[in-house]
Structure 1
Amino acid sequence: MGAATGQSLPVAVGVLLSPLPIVAVVLMLTSERARANASAFVVSWFVAVLAAVAAVAFLAAGTASDDGDPAAWTGWLKIVLGILLLVVGVRQFLGRPGAGVEPPAPRWMAAIDHFTPARSAGLAVLLVVVNPKNLLLVVSGGVAIASATESTGPTVIASLVFALVATIGVAVPVAIYVAMGARAARILRGLEAWMVHNNAVIMAVLLLILGTKILGDGIATL
């Protein structure tokens, strides 16, 4: 269990720091149905991450060789995932907005004021399984878990730890809101503005670091 958690934890931190889900929660906390929408998003985010990372982990673990070692293709998959993360990271960095230029906000941000808890939960799932950057990270986490353990129990526990760590980022704004009430609005809006403006740079740094790690792990596996 320790090895699987250790291998996947850096990737979970990458998901934790992904700006767009955090911005989505902040926007929900400044809308009319603040607590209901934000709570639905956080719970759905956790469940979606857990389901995705566990599915990948069990799929990869199910192809282990007879001696219990991970199948050789998991090493190649890590190499492919590492290269993809590096490519996406470079594209994010090159596409970052220039000084004084505000990046365009995704269309769904403008509609969050009118979201219901069900739509908030649905958005969380979409940001996990449709957003290519988050999906790459979650898949990488699942492969890392599978390559470090061969039994069901440790895989489940490592997947739970991965999902819990990956959920901290979207849970922190809710904790600030609950602790500070109306006073939290200014802090949350400042956090939202900073993360939207620096989204490309944050993701570029995360993807480049994690891509390098996963690529190295893949080479070591082979």
Structure 2
Amino acid sequence: MREVIGDILPLALTVAISPIPIVAVILTLLAPRAGGASLGFLLGWLAGIVVVSVVVVMIASAIGLSGHGSGSTAGAIVKLVLGAGAVLLAGRQWRSRPRPGAEPKAPKWMAAIDTMTLPKAAGLAFLLSGVNPKNLAMILAAGVSIGSADLAIGQIVVVVAIFTVLAGCTVALPVLAYAVARERARGALTELRTWLVAHNAAVMTAVLGLIGVVLIGKGIAGL
């Protein structure tokens, strides 16, 4: 189990430092309905990670990616494909970066966060965590690592819980900080949002590229 935890740590970190969900949760905290919207976003974010992770683990176990021989080879091939996908996403992210001197543009859906209720914020977060291509690639890789490791049910629950907590910590921390010190946190959150929007492309390019290379290396090693 320790080897699997070591495999999923960088993947969870990649999900955690993705700028878009952090910006989104900060916007919910700066919205008129901050309490409900931020709580909904946090719950939806964690739920998306758990649901996709569990589904991938079940599929990986069902199709025989666990064990040795052909199953082990299939798992290695999946990691190779996911690694290549992460590298391609990194290149796409870099090409989409704003030109020097240009104002970084936030996604249009961010403008609608001000009016979001708890259910709508939860739905948005679920999509960002479980369907967004960047996060999906990392969660798929984590699910394959867990599902191909011949773990007992209890161990799978523990590993998925660890992955979810780590992947969701950067969304949970602003919510907790706002709940504890609302006025003090507001200024810091505004500054963090501005920085993340400005450097989104650079951060995601570096992280996706690094994780892609790691996954490719693990895939080659498993062949």
TM > 0.5: yes
**Quick check: 1:43 aligned with 2:23?**
no
Any stretches of 5+ residues in structure 1 without a counterpart? none
Q: Any residues of structure 2 matched to 1:73-152 within 5 Å, and which? A: 73-152=74-153
Deviation at 1:36, TM superposition (A): 1.4
For 1:64 and 1:71, locate their aligned partners in 2 and report how far apart those are by CA, in whole Å.
Answer: 8
Match of 2:67 in 1: 68
**Quick check: 1:221 aligned with 2:222?**
yes
Q: What letter corresponds to residue 55 of structure 1 in structure 2?
A: V
**Quick check: 1:208 aligned with 2:209?**
yes
Contact in 2 for aligned 1:103/1:196 (Cα 8 Å): yes
Contact in 2 for aligned 1:78/1:218 (Cα 8 Å): yes
Match of 1:156 in 2: 157
For 2:81 and 2:23, locate their aligned partners in 1 and report how far apart those are by CA, in whole Å.
Answer: 29
Per-residue CA deviation, residues 14-61 of structure 1 (Å, 9 max, x unaligned), is 000011111110000001111211111111211110111121122112
Q: Where in structure 1 do 4 or more consecutive aligned residues deviate above 6 Å?
A: none
Match of 1:15 in 2: 15
Contact in 2 for aligned 1:37/1:120 (Cα 8 Å): yes
- Calculate the TM-score normalised by the size of structure 2: 0.93
Q: What letter corresponds to residue 12 of structure 1 in structure 2?
A: A
Any stretches of 5+ residues in structure 2 without a counterpart? none
SS of residue paired to 1:148: coil
Match of 1:184 in 2: 185
* Alpha-carbon RMSD: 1.5
What percent identity do the matched residue pairs reach?
A: 38
Q: What letter corresponds to residue 68 of structure 1 in structure 2?
A: G
Deviation at 1:158, TM superposition (A): 0.9
Contact in 2 for aligned 1:54/1:155 (Cα 8 Å): no
Q: What letter corresponds to residue 19 of structure 2 in structure 1?
A: P
Per-residue CA deviation, residues 91-148 of structure 1 (Å, 9 max, x unaligned), is 2123211232222211111011100000000001110232111111111111122233
Contact in 1 for aligned 2:77/2:219 (Cα 8 Å): yes
